[in-house]
Amino acid sequence: MSSKKSIYLDLSVQELIEQAVQRGEGVIAANGALSVTTGKRTGRSPQDKFIVKTPDVANEIAWGGINHAVEEEVFEKLWQKTLNYLQTVDTFVSHLQVCADSQCYFPVKIVSEYAWHNLFARQLFIRPQDFHGKGNKQEWLILSAPRLLTEAVRDGTNSDAALMIHLTERKVLLCGHQYAGEIKKAMFSALNYWLPLEGILPMHCAANVGKRGDIALFFGLSGTGKTTLSADPKRYLIGDDEHGWSEKGVFNFEGGCYAKCINLSLEREPIIWKAIRHGAVMENVVINPTTLESNYADARITQNMRVAYPIDFIEKRVPKQRIDRDPEVIIFLTCDLYGVLPPVAYLTQEQAAYYFLSGYTALVGSTEVGQAEAIKATFSTCFGAPFFPRPPEVYASLLKQRLYSSRTQVYLVNTGWMKGSYGEGYRFPIAITRNIIDAILNGHLEKTTYSLLPGFRLAIPQALPGINATLLDPRKNWENALAYNEKSKELITQFLNNAQHLGFSECIQSAGPTFECL
């Protein structure tokens, strides 16, 4: 290789794959995808993420345990250090976009040390030839230098890696991060800051549409079923992770999908399975060294094994990645480890705001660095707290505005445990959850009768087509009624403590769980 450093500009997908293989960044698996590993970080690293605290944003960010502040001087020094470093290595540059909206899109330039990081961005973001925005926009610049490790004391970081977002200068800096999910989530965080100024609700959700034009949104943390349930053979995918809801309608932020593939099978998730082919990027999937076959059941590297692929790898998709109408249905996916929530419940608008702000669910499959447990309960505001820089009330207010101006109905769907809590009961089979989603999308929940679940005050259907009626009421699934009540009290206590921590208004708090009538 020549000592002269090269800049590879806007290479094609095939050229980036060839460069990645030649440089030893990954191998071509038997399914045709590029297979890579990401070192010791196989998920996001929340403690290494910073937002630059400038006068423009200082009073707009919910600073604290999620949004860590870094001074401009610290950022500028590390930015220059990274620029100097990238001049000593070959780099790959791509010009892309995020946000499938002609007014609110961001042009993005990514400069990366790894060819496969550029490939990841090309497959996950929107290519300019696929979408043309209006007007001249200031470009976002992403620098990705995974081999440049930071020095905590000298560089003002927490470890040997850092992700810093400069919202006013529109810059993203990644040092020491091989895990590519940080790239897309950085831009998601940036959009979540800026779009509310345009009256747009940014959402951590998947979206699909039926033949009648009816849109469904699926909110939820990674591992709770968002990507799996939105990949519906009977419907057309808008996107699997990040969307905006404006007065005009719903639009995708991305041009691709980033799916978990732990225990992936053709039978359970045919759409994702078929999308893993040449051009896709697999992260941290165990590969047989002889046959190069993928083993999705082998979690030796991580439970958070991933695959990235462009949305055009999915046959039934919305080409423009936007629909100019309001969603008919919103589904909050919650993975209940206590096993006391119903498989589905109808939410009032007040309850929708409460459960949106609460974001009760579970962290599944080690999506974050330092997550020792494979699964644990959590409250993640807006079903995506790590990616929302502004105070939660900003996003809740936008959600309420959208619900009031539309006829959108909201449902809570439990993809977690039944007949006992985690470790005792068992998780709802995907087939049952799919039947419930079908019942929601086909309008059956608008026609059925409801009963009220004490304590949580949730309206639960008494009957649904193809579902055993006893499954719909969690109290009927526990052998020991006293044990069910005790677990319910535990979870209600968690809800009340979380609400107190967030400082819910009296109006929103009144829609939440209570010990009364339990």
Tell me, what amino acid is at 340? V
Q: In whole angstroms, give the CA distance from residue 358 to residue 509.
A: 10
Among candidate residues 364, 396, 381, the one with its CA nearest the CA of residue 228: 364
Among candidate residues 227, 307, 308, the one with its CA nearest the CA of residue 269: 227
H/E segment holding residue 70: strand 68-70
Q: In whole angstroms, give the CA distance from residue 264 to residue 283.
A: 14
H/E segment holding residue 140: strand 140-145
**Which of 144, 150, 227, 294 is labelled catalytic?**
227
Catalytic residue flag (residue 241): yes
Which three-class secondary structure state does DSSP give residue 167?
Answer: coil
Beta-strand pair 91-98/106-112: antiparallel
| Residue in the block written with tokens 């079908």 | 438
Catalytic residue flag (residue 222): yes
Catalytic residue flag (residue 306): yes
DSSP labels, 442-506? TTGGGTS-EEEETTTTEEEES-BTTB-GGGGSGGGG-S-HHHHHHHHHHHHHHHHHHHHHHT--H
**Which of 101, 155, 241, 336 is labelled catalytic?**
241
Which three-class secondary structure state does DSSP give residue 238?
Answer: strand
**Which of 53, 81, 235, 306 is labelled catalytic?**
306
Could you tell me which residues come within 8 angstroms of residue 420 by beta carbon, excluding any fewer than 6 positions away?
339, 426, 478
Could you tell me which residues come within 8 angstroms of residue 3 by beta carbon, excluding any fewer than 6 positions away?
none
Q: What angle do CA 370, 376, 382 make, to 5 degrees?
A: 95
CA atoms lying within 13 Å on the CB side of residue 160: 9
Q: In whole angstroms, give the CA distance from residue 182 to residue 46.
A: 10
Could you tell me which residues come within 8 angstroms of residue 12 by beta carbon, excluding any fewer than 6 positions away?
none
Contact present, 109 and 121 (Cβ < 8 Å): no
Q: In whole angstroms, give the CA distance from residue 170 to residue 180.
A: 19
Structure tokens at 225: 């079923």
DSSP for residue 381:
G
What distances in angstroms separate CA 88 from CA 140, 145, 367, 412, one per listed residue?
Answer: 23, 11, 32, 52
The three-state DSSP-derived secondary structure of 362-377 is: EEECCCECCCCCCEEE
Among candidate residues 59, 121, 134, 41, the one with its CA nearest the CA of residue 370: 41
Catalytic residue flag (residue 227): yes
**Which of 185, 243, 322, 390 is labelled catalytic?**
185
**Which of 226, 243, 317, 402 is labelled catalytic?**
226
Tell me, what amino acid is at 367? T
Q: In whole angstroms, give the CA distance from residue 99 to residue 124.
A: 11
**Which of 35, 38, 42, 44 is labelled catalytic?**
44
Structure tokens at 396: 């809740």
Give catalytic residues, as residue numbers: 44, 185, 204, 222, 226-227, 241, 306
